[in-house]
Structure 1
């Protein structure tokens, strides 16, 4: 969905929520159906998260392959995929396949992985080095790009299928620490933080773009995005649902999550003003997660307010 200017909006497919609120009803086909609906409603992208047992859900690139076959226009993105847990060649092949199936609509949002014992356990499960996850992520990104761009390699040694996007899919980096801002500015096509506060987002955007300029890149060529969570409705009900979502998703109350992730509950005018503040701060794409067991009602309310946002 595009506002009257250049800002686009994406919908985070509730892969974790479907498994979380109804653990015996996590049918991934429902995610595909929701992505089709998001395209029909005019959203610019459908996003999906990534984890193994830390936050059990459907595997993201598999779901996006199905979404690619069921849609025509909407971008397909990971928000975010833990590249440091993956073999670079297999990751490159999976991503190239989804990019080819979608006709070049894939955006690979990647991240190193947040700290915490559950995520650490996921790394142990696949034999990945949790302590080196940042440098490993960059190694996987570099090796995947080399495989996507190997035009001069003999045909029998080239990765198949070939990406629809020349040079490989767009890659956005999730993260807002000092290393993340530098990496985003120097090496990625987009910056995709969870943006806990709009003032911090604005300051970090300046820093990220400064790193891009230092690397000889055009700062404006790097998409400034944000991953934001909302619940729209009666303030008391919305606040209770956000707290429930925080406890089920992260195992902590909302006051803990609020300091780390951009999350807001309230009426449509309140949510609209909050989203507008990120646009005013320079955000060019907003991926919206719905913190509620009632995705359909939340989506209806969200669609009503998005066209009113200004750029």
Structure 2
């Protein structure tokens, strides 16, 4: 079944890092165990969602730092970090520090825009500047410049007997700028990412253009193609693109697991039947079944046909043992069915 023209080259997974608020340590430990398992299974990358004031990972940079010391090969990324919550200079320092600790394995995924439910939190997040904060692309451009090592100020050198200062963000991690990704769901954002030197994260949500048919796979395909054209026009070849859909292989699942998984999919499927909200948001269908069945659906998916990297999203609310089963089936059966070979 693998497509000889485009076998899957990079297989990753994405987790929200769900935890019980009464025992958050257990959930974070589970996430680290899952990342460690991912490396043992040969996955190329593990990605963390970023959640604020929810019961999912609020500090993926800290979790990546911990994971970097328990792994040696697997790439670690965020999908995505919403920059409306971040100070770009401080985030640049944190990302570079973790990249140094990880030996150059960090792939920060980013997005811009006003923080979710901003009116409920702006008095704490930006008490003195809430109404003048810039949540545009300029915020991520600033982060990229700082990570690239551009000057922060003119002042540098020694001050006094001991103190020595730099005029750029330290530590500087060479190569990190080339591993910045942008999470784009619209044609505008995909074009911007291509024009400005970011890799592209395309997930299970897209916003069609006004003249497009509301077909998720075709909209995603159009955005990826437009991104690649924009990147090529800037002399960036090859531009990296990763697709992230929810896949739930059931090859080794128990009867109880299969029943639970199907209930999860059934609850989420109605939202995929029509555009949602004023912007016509389109959700991808969750793919459930045997690895052979899922591979067949992926090869027929116009968006998947454009990529050779994926970060399959793990369902939000499953138990640790469910994630172990799903990851084991993805690495052992689904990945090979897509032409992928495990890393070593």
TM-score by length of 1: 0.81
CA contact (8 A) 1:84 1:136 kept: no
Question: Is 1:309 matched with 2:338?
Answer: yes
Q: Distance in 2 between matches of 1:123 and 1:80?
A: 20
Number of residue-to-residue matches in the alignment = 292
Distance between the aligned counterparts of 1:273 and 1:129, measured in 2?
49
Q: In 2, distance between residues paired with 1:272 and 1:49?
A: 25
1:6–1:123 CA distance, 2 compared to 1 (3 A) = farther
Asked if structure 2 preserves the Cα contact closer than 8 Å seen for 1:35 and 1:67, the reply is yes
| Residue in structure 2 matched with residue 208 of structure 1 by the alignment | 227
Residue 225 (str. 1) matches residue 214 (str. 2): no
SS in 2 for 1:281: helix
Distance in 2, Cα, partners of 1:12 & 1:90? 25
Unaligned runs of 5+ in 2: 158-163, 206-215, 276-281
In the alignment, the residues of structure 2 paired with residue 281 and residue 159 of structure 1 have an alpha-carbon distance, to the nearest angstrom, of 39
Tell me the TM-score normalised to structure 2 length. Answer: 0.74
Distance 2:14 2:91 in 1: 21
- In the other structure, the counterpart of 2:171 is 161
Distance 1:36 1:120, change over 3 A: farther
Q: Describe the superposition over 1:171-219 as per-residue Cα deviations: whole angstroms up to 9, x where unpaired.
A: 11101213311221111331102144322221111111222234x223x
CA change 1:51–1:14 in 2 (3 A) is: closer
Structure 2 vs 1, CA of residues 85 and 308 (structure 1 numbering), >3 Å: closer, same or farther?
same
Contact 2:245 2:312 in 1 (8 A): yes
Q: Which residue does 2:72 correspond to in 1?
A: 72
Contact preservation (8 Å) 1:232, 1:238: no
Please list every run of 5 or more consecutive structure 1 residues that lacks an aligned counterpart in the other structure: 245-252
Backbone CA RMSD of aligned residues: 3.1
1:84 pairs with 2:84 = yes
- Conservation of the 8 A alpha-carbon contact between 1:110 and 1:172: yes
Which stretches of structure 1, 4 residues or more, deviate above 6 A after TM superposition? none
Larger-Rg structure: 2
Q: Is the 8 A contact 1:231 1:266 kept in 2?
A: yes
Q: Per the alignment, in what secondary structure is the counterpart of residue 242 of structure 2? A: strand
Against the structure 1 CA distance between its residues 202 and 134, is the aligned structure 2 distance closer, same or farther, given a 3 Å change threshold? Answer: same
Q: Which has the higher contact order (CA 8 A, sep 6+)?
A: 2
Deviations 1:269-302 (A, max 9, x none): 2322233345752212111112133212222222
Instruction: Report the Cα offset of residue 41 of structure 1.
Output: 0.4
Match of 2:190 in 1: 181
